[in-house]
Amino acid sequence: MEQQKRYGHFDDQHREYVITNPQTPWPWINYLGNEDFFSLISNTAGGYSFYKDAKFRRITRYRYNNVPMDNGGRYFYLKDGDTVWNPGWKPCKTPLDFYECRHGMSYTRITGRKNGVEASVLFFVPLKKWAEVQKLTLTNQSQETKTLKLFSFEEWCLWNAATDMENFQRNFSTGEVEIEGSTIYHKTEYRERRNHYAFYHVNAPIQGFDTDRETFVGLYNEFANPDAVMEGKPRNSHAHGWSPIASHYIEVTLAPGESKDFVFILGYIENEQDKKFSALQVINKEKAHALIAELDTTEKVDKAFAELCEYWDALLNIYKVKTGNDKLDRMVNIWNQYQCMVTFNFSRSASFFESGVGRGMGFRDSNQDLVGFVHQIPPRARQRIIDIASTQFPDGGCYHQYQPLTKRGNNDIGGGFNDDPCWLIFGTVAYIKETGDFSILDEMVPFDNQPGSEVTLFEHLKISMDHVIKNLGPHMLPLIGRADWNDCLNLNCFSWDPNESFQTTENVSEGTKAESLMIAGLFVVTGKDYVALCKKLANGQRSTVNGQWSMVNVQCDFAEEANRMQQAVDAMIEAVKKHGWDGEWYLRAYDFYGRKIGSNECEEAKIFIESQGWCTMAEIGAEDGMVAKSLDSCKKYLECEHGMVLNNPAFTKYIYEYGEISSYPEGYKENAGIFCHNNPWVIIGECIAGRGNDAWSHYAKILPSYVEEKYQTLHKVEPYVNCQMVAGKDAFRPGEGKNSWLTGTAAWMWYTVSEFILGIKPDYDGIRIDPCLPETATDYTVCRKFREAEYEITIHPNGVQKGVKAITLDGQPIEGTVIPYSVGKHVVEVVM
């Protein structure tokens, strides 16, 4: 097959990415759903749906790492004479006369045309509904009457996505369905402990159906040529055990020019225990009927879709930039913010690289994700902070992950990642600065979800800081524990057993000297934030939230607390300067035996990115030139065409004392991959140091809209979002992307561009203006909604990289760089 140069393009006006060739170098996916019901959908309609938890409530089945790739999904088959085709090209792969997939904000529209018939499907999850709607529009664009046979297709998953893939001795005997009119119900395990079922409905009479996979497909056929479809005859099969599916059969006649809509609904229902059945073995369908009734016409669906679009208008209206550079504007105004919301919703659970059965929500990941969406949905950020803090232990340590359905800490992975506590401060401070809601600090929050153990959230922050202070090593630097941000830097694990996971195997704390410079920098950054917060509280800080005064009742001598922590921060700075500097860059760590990691003295991996990022953000040793040297070293040793690699030179052999990091071949993941997540740390370091040209050039290298043009084929993964990792300079194919969508990169890219490059920083008392720009930047305007105010801020850079000279607020000059918060609309002019 001849490789096409381009597979798609941005459509900024509609906030869509338009894919014009279905054979993308990797499935390019989108996410549907915003609260409880979620779906993943690829550009050929592959993917699956789940309710809240991708492991425990998987509604439709999906096979990861399959051949062919991305098989299974929601499929519409059209049989027109002898030709069978799908609007999304797959699974039949019949060549289409026209194909287009538009991924938009929580919706996807796939259109195919063949032999004068157009089939266009709009997929979305209506707000507050537990259902995926698929509005199929069939149009006869030919001169003759068309008689078509339409088959829908979904395959049910037996709820628990993990056992669904392994426990076949049981699974093949449990499947159960019910058929009622045009609705197919999936009720496996409902007879016993489950109180939920799913259904697949169409708002038209059907002329047949299938619910048993083997009968529909034929044992020796594939999704590409199911028996029933090829023959044009449904079997009306009734699944019992084996593999239940849902397929409607509809005969459609269309006059020339005629168009017909069909609304398909994939729904999920929960019943109260005592209302599960309407008769023996007959599920109570009342709620399903009600849900169907809310969505069963084109008008109702169009209205629900309009509401979804308005929801996104509102979310994306909070921060809007106009720079005149389309590539930047579309990432800031659309895709970066969208990806942040998706990461908020899915954490690291379900993507085309995360199977949905592995990980729960990460403690550190969720706190970082928060800076990406807190401006859009502050109440949910508030709840998220409390959920996360509730999994903390009384000594300030934390469960590394928790399960979204139960919100409880995950015992399988446990704790001991010593960076985790600091992130709670990072997230909470971002929340308070955005909202002015100091009252969150008064919330009573338990330890390890134990009722009766509640203390204030402020107390949780305090013990988080103390956890670092109480776990210092021989150089007075933070002990790393199981790992710090770099999950793979396992300095206390020592594993020779391939059956062990580095994330859960032994963590020798006795006698360890393993210290982390990454945590040291993180501690200084979050420690300064904590001190500033205490000072605010010492001044009796109050602020308004929705017109109400927000007060903190926490009992604490805040001035004394600020003082205490300032000393700890100062001591940490001294420790880094004394024991954490290698001459040209910051060390990365000390190993179990107290030997340097990330030093010029090391054979490999002489320099690491994480400590450069955090120690430059913390400005440690700036006055002695350390920050500038570190940033220069990043350019010299870490930077390549596609971004900055994590370490250099890459490890070429497994090092038992270092753990998983050296398990990866060079250039991938934590071994010298471009781990996009941590590039922004250095970029922020550049911004704080005022080096706008450098900050911008690093930023543009990993900005998807810039990558889009250059690497449609090389990069492989979706060109509209960031991926976790791009293969580094030591890899076989540098520039190849992996692990798209669910990555801390989204929030960090947002934080970097919105606050440090464009320079609009929410602060306790207002908005701080402090851009750091390339010399080439021209005038730009940011419209920022902030609490109950709206600011239109125009910046005149005048070729200056950093430094605000003058600000006027509504025509009046102000002192300093913080625009004081006041309700209403304001116009701000900034001269640099």
Residue 410 contacts ligand GLC per CB under 6 A? no
Place of tokens 């900005």: 703
Residue with smaller CB distance to ligand GLC, 46 or 613: 613
CA atoms within 13 A on the CB side of 13: 0
By CB neighbour count within 10 A (0-12 exposed, 13-18 middle, 19+ buried), where does 628 fall? middle
Residue with smaller CB distance to ligand GLC, 552 or 617: 617
Residue 354 contacts ligand GLC per CB under 6 A? no
Residue with smaller CB distance to ligand GLC, 184 or 749: 749
* Closest by CA position to 101, among listed 41, 178, 37, 163: 41
Q: What is the DSSP string of 706-718?
A: HHHHH-TTTT-S-
Residue 769 contacts ligand GLC per CB under 6 A? no
* Local structure of residue 516 (DSSP, 8 states): E
Is residue 621 within 8 A of residue 611, CB to CB? The reply is no
Question: Catalytic residue among 210, 296, 365, 487, which?
Answer: 487
Q: Determine the 3-state secondary structure of 118 from DSSP.
A: strand
| Piece of the chain touching ligand GLC by CB under 6 A; list 89-97, 253-261, 483-491, 513-521 | 483-491
* Closest by CA position to 138, among listed 116, 118, 113: 118
Residue 588 contacts ligand GLC per CB under 6 A? no
Residue with smaller CB distance to ligand GLC, 323 or 724: 724
Binding track, positions 630-649, relative to ligand GLC; x by CB under 6 A: --------------------
Residue with smaller CB distance to ligand GLC, 190 or 608: 608
Is residue 374 within 8 A of residue 770, CB to CB? The reply is no
Catalytic status, residue 261: no
Q: What is the DSSP string of 350-413?
A: BSSSSBSSS--EEHHHHHHHHHHHTTT-HHHHHHHHHHHHTTB-TTS-B-SEE-TTT--B-TTT
Angstrom distance (rounded) from CA 288 to CA 186: 12
Nearest approach in angstroms of CB 689 to ligand GLC is 24
- The dihedral of CA 62, 67, 69, 72: what is its sign? negative
Residue with smaller CB distance to ligand GLC, 364 or 606: 364
Is residue 667 within 8 A of residue 732, CB to CB? The reply is yes
Is residue 753 within 8 A of residue 695, CB to CB? The reply is no
Binding track, positions 427-466, relative to ligand GLC; x by CB under 6 A: ----------------------------------------
Residue 486 contacts ligand GLC per CB under 6 A? yes
Q: How many CB atoms lie within 10 A of CB 794?
A: 14
Residue with smaller CB distance to ligand GLC, 155 or 365: 365
Which residues between 736 and 765 bind ligand GLC (CB under 6 A)? 744
Nearest approach in angstroms of CB 743 to ligand GLC is 6
Angstrom distance (rounded) from CA 499 to CA 746: 33
Residue 488 contacts ligand GLC per CB under 6 A? yes
Task: Tell me the Cα Rg of the chain.
Answer: 28
Q: Residues binding ligand GLC: what is the number (CB under 6 A)? A: 16
Nearest approach in angstroms of CB 353 to ligand GLC is 11
Nearest approach in angstroms of CB 359 to ligand GLC is 6
* Residue choice 437, 459, 639, 670 for contact with ligand GLC (CB under 6 A): 670
* Residue choice 503, 543, 648, 801 for contact with ligand GLC (CB under 6 A): 503
Nearest approach in angstroms of CB 223 to ligand GLC is 31
Angstrom distance (rounded) from CA 338 to CA 331: 9
Residue with smaller CB distance to ligand GLC, 123 or 402: 402
Nearest approach in angstroms of CB 401 to ligand GLC is 9
Nearest approach in angstroms of CB 668 to ligand GLC is 9
Residue 362 contacts ligand GLC per CB under 6 A? yes
Residue with smaller CB distance to ligand GLC, 197 or 485: 485
Residue with CB nearest ligand GLC? 487
Residue with smaller CB distance to ligand GLC, 140 or 503: 503
Angstrom distances, CA of residue 332 to CA of 103, 427, 695, 721, 756: 17, 21, 16, 11, 13
* Residue choice 118, 132, 212, 660 for contact with ligand GLC (CB under 6 A): 660
Nearest approach in angstroms of CB 511 to ligand GLC is 25
Is residue 391 within 8 A of residue 408, CB to CB? The reply is yes
| Piece of the chain touching ligand GLC by CB under 6 A; list 146-154, 262-270, 356-364, 512-520 | 356-364
Can the peptide bond before residue 649 be classed as cis, meaning omega within 30 degrees of 0? yes
Task: Mention every residue, 6+ apart, whose C-beta is less than 8 A from residue 428.
Answer: 385, 440, 441, 457, 461
Residue with smaller CB distance to ligand GLC, 486 or 648: 486
Per-residue b or e along 83-103, where b marks 16 or more CB atoms closer than 10 Å to that residue's CB? ebbbbbbbbbebebeebbbbb
| Piece of the chain touching ligand GLC by CB under 6 A; list 195-203, 207-215, 359-367, 521-529 | 359-367
First to last CA, the chain: 53
Which residues between 677 and 736 bind ligand GLC (CB under 6 A)? 677, 724
What is the phi-psi region of residue 235: left when phi exceeds 0, alpha when psi lies from -120 to 50, beta otherwise? Answer: alpha
Binding track, positions 596-625, relative to ligand GLC; x by CB under 6 A: ------------------------------
Residue 369 contacts ligand GLC per CB under 6 A? no
Helical (H) or strand (E) element with 155:
strand 146-159
Q: Determine the 3-state secondary structure of 608 from DSSP.
A: strand
Residue 55 contacts ligand GLC per CB under 6 A? no
Residue 426 contacts ligand GLC per CB under 6 A? no
Question: In the structure encoding, which two tokens stand for residue 493, read together?
Answer: 């694990």
Nearest approach in angstroms of CB 348 to ligand GLC is 5
* Residue choice 55, 129, 364, 787 for contact with ligand GLC (CB under 6 A): 364
Catalytic residues: 487
Binding site for ligand GLC (CB under 6 A): 348, 359, 362, 364-365, 485-488, 503, 660, 669-670, 677, 724, 744
